[in-house]
Amino acid sequence: MSESEQCTKAALRAEVKSLDLDGDSDAVELGMVIDKQRCVGCGGCNIGCARENNLDEGVAPAFSSSIIETQGTFPEVGWDYTPTLCNHCADAPCVSGCPTTALYKGEGGVTMHNPDRCIGCKYCIVNCPYDEIHYLKEDPHQRWDREEGVIEGATASPTEVIEETDREVTPFYNPNREVGEHEHPTRHRGIVEKCTFCIHRVAEGELPACVEACPAEARIFGDLNDPDSKVREILGKYDQEVLKEEKGTNPKVMYVREFNGDGYDPGKGEPGLED
């Protein structure tokens, strides 16, 4: 990571540490800006998210995902990579349509989910225009319950790996996901799960995992109500867009700039004054 990148993340961390999430519920409005010019499509955000939130390995989509669009035919092919996550909409249809209030607005305007109230009706999935709420058809991490190794006498069994790593559920289990009201470290089948802006980290003065993991500084997180925040600085400098603006949900994840991967033959041009 470059010195400038370290300074940028240090500034964002300082902003998050200064947030007062226990005060006036309307004082802080958390949001994220994704700079598509900086994004390199590496997927580091997805890995960081899955690791932080104890998501089942090999199961897609994660809380952090992407939309990939291609244009043209080989070899003249262009592509557009758009990182996605829950938009934490101000007018969230998943919240208004939940019959048990399992989905609700929490601190900083974050769209939260209470697994204890969820009945798995999937109304939120139907109502979400962004496909960012996911239903658990099975209990996660079942592969780590197996007691047989792949090669008997040569490889350890999943349960032996967990025992040796002194972890619960998986060898990479993250106990930090246990903190906070209505936070469950792994969830269970028959309910939905979604991104929470890593509110358990934010409450401790840390950046969301996807922001911290991004090597290109493409994700900027902070308080949209703070005129001195980095997100407000970026939004004041560039035009922004949101996904499916026509849905009227007022997303709190916004995109600036565009990555242009097209090329052209180098040259200085022609004088243009000759006969």
The pLDDT of residue 143 is: 80
Which pLDDT band holds residue 266 (cuts at 50, 70, 90)? Answer: low
Residue 10 pLDDT level (bands cut at 50, 70, 90):
confident
- The proportion of the chain whose per-residue pLDDT surpasses 90, expressed as a percent, equals 51
Question: Which has the minimum average pLDDT: 90-99, 144-153, 173-182, 206-215?
Answer: 173-182
Q: Which of 129-133, 142-146, 232-236 has the lowest mean pLDDT?
A: 142-146
Question: Does a structural domain hold residue 191?
Answer: yes
Do the domain assignments include residue 123? yes
pLDDT of 111 strictly over 90:
yes
Q: Is the pTM of this model over 0.85?
A: no
3-state helix vs strand vs coil in the chain, percent to 5 = 25, 15, 55
Answer whether residue 274 shows pLDDT above 60. Answer: no
CATH code, 101: 3.30.70.20
Mean pLDDT calculated for residue range 118-122: 95
Residue 270 makes CB contacts below 8 A (sequence gap 6+) with none
Half-sphere exposure (Cβ direction) of 251: Cα atoms closer than 13 Å: 22
Cα–Cα–Cα angle for 218, 220, 224, nearest 5°? 150
CA torsion 178-180-183-185 (nearest 10°) is: -10
- Higher per-residue pLDDT: 84 or 56: 84
Where residue 122 falls (left for φ over 0; alpha for ψ -120 to 50; beta otherwise) is left
Instruction: Return the top range by mean pLDDT from 58-62, 75-79, 80-84.
Output: 80-84
Is residue 168 very low, low, confident or very high in pLDDT (cuts 50, 70, 90)?
confident
DSSP H stretches of helix in 81-192 = 93-96, 123-127, 158-165
The answer to whether residue 271 is domain-embedded is no
pLDDT of residue 140: 80
Given a contact cutoff of 8 angstroms between Cβ atoms, the answer to whether 95 and 103 are in contact is yes
Q: Using pLDDT thresholds of 50, 70 and 90, give the confidence band for residue 147.
A: confident
The pLDDT tens digits of the residues spanning 15-45 come to 888 887 776 657 899 999 999 999 999 999 9
pLDDT for the residue numbered 35: 96
| 204 φψ region: left (φ > 0), alpha (ψ -120 to 50), beta (else) | alpha
pLDDT for 30 equals 96
Residue 64 belongs to a domain: yes
Q: Is 233 domain-assigned? A: yes
Range of the domain at 10: 3-142+172-256
Count how many domains the chain has.
Answer: 1
Q: Which is more confidently placed, 4 or 237? A: 237
Mean of the per-residue pLDDT values for the chain?
Answer: 86
* 134: Cα within 13 Å, side-chain hemisphere: 21
Q: What pLDDT does residue 164 have?
A: 83
Residue 149 in domain: no
Position 263 pLDDT exceeds 60: no
The predicted structure's pLDDT at residue 19: 85
> Average pLDDT in the 134-156 region?
83
Express each pLDDT in 172-187 by its tens digit. Answer: 778 777 666 556 677 7
Does residue 37 sit within a domain? yes
Residue 177 belongs to a domain: yes
pLDDT tens digits along 239-260: 999 999 999 999 999 999 987 6
